Structure 1
């Protein structure tokens, strides 16, 4: 299995880009495969790049735009040279004003499946499971 330092660096860069562009649909969506499946912090599943773009646009038009996250990579394991499982800790920062909208958890376990797609790595799947503090 691959331990190629350039692949590891590219995967870490992809995670960093996903965090950086979390409120920029046009830059976030291309980080994913066309068939991507995302299960978000609230347990909502979205399949496909177009559906993900629409879900993001809808969320960013609400106070959810004030909920941001950071992600810390804990481990990268290659299933094949072109497929990696990336385990992370996601931390959520709820910038909304109302205490009634506050999220019940502020961290979660995030697992990505990433694939090498042509000349770059992309997110094929992401699952976030909330954890208690």
Structure 2
């Protein structure tokens, strides 16, 4: 795929991060297909755009109300001309726990499957995984 193709797909993730940082869950949810899957950092699985928007709006009214994503790294890999896998390393800051106490910034990896259909690139599946302490090996 061309550099331009990668840039267009990467822009979907950039819009995801921008929507998150503006706490605009309607715009964020519009990046997903109608029947998209979303697994959040807590392991909850939301199975369509409406459920994704509702869940994220609830979280952004509470624990993520002042949160920000900062992009650290992004990799785009095409599996077909109209299908890409994207891994984005992000730092989450500004989150609070259920008692309202500030949480320290943390790293995460957003893994998404982005598909081009009818001339538009949309997220068909996304999982947000927290980077945690590694076990001793």
Residue 126 of structure 2 aligns to a residue whose secondary structure is: strand
Q: Distance in 2 between matches of 1:48 and 1:4?
A: 31
Superposition pairs of residues 1-133 of structure 1, within 5 angstroms: 3-22=1-20, 23-96=23-96, 100=101, 102=103, 106-132=106-132
Structure 1 segments (4+ residues) deviating >3 Å = 95-101
Residue 52 of structure 1 aligns to a residue whose secondary structure is: helix
Residue 13 of structure 1 aligns to a residue whose secondary structure is: helix
Gaps of 5+ in 2: none
Q: Deviations over 1:44-103 (max 9, x none)?
A: 211100101111221222242112212344321111111101111021102549674626
Higher relative contact order (CA 8 A, sep 6+): 1
Q: Distance in 2 between matches of 1:62 and 1:47?
A: 22
* Greater helix proportion: 1
TM-score norm. by structure 2 comes to 0.82
Moved more, 82-91 or 63-72: 63-72
Question: Offset at 1:4?
Answer: 2.4
Asked whether the equivalents of residues 88 and 111 of structure 2 are also in contact (C-alpha less than 8 Å), the reply is yes
Asked whether the equivalents of residues 73 and 86 of structure 1 are also in contact (C-alpha less than 8 Å), the reply is no
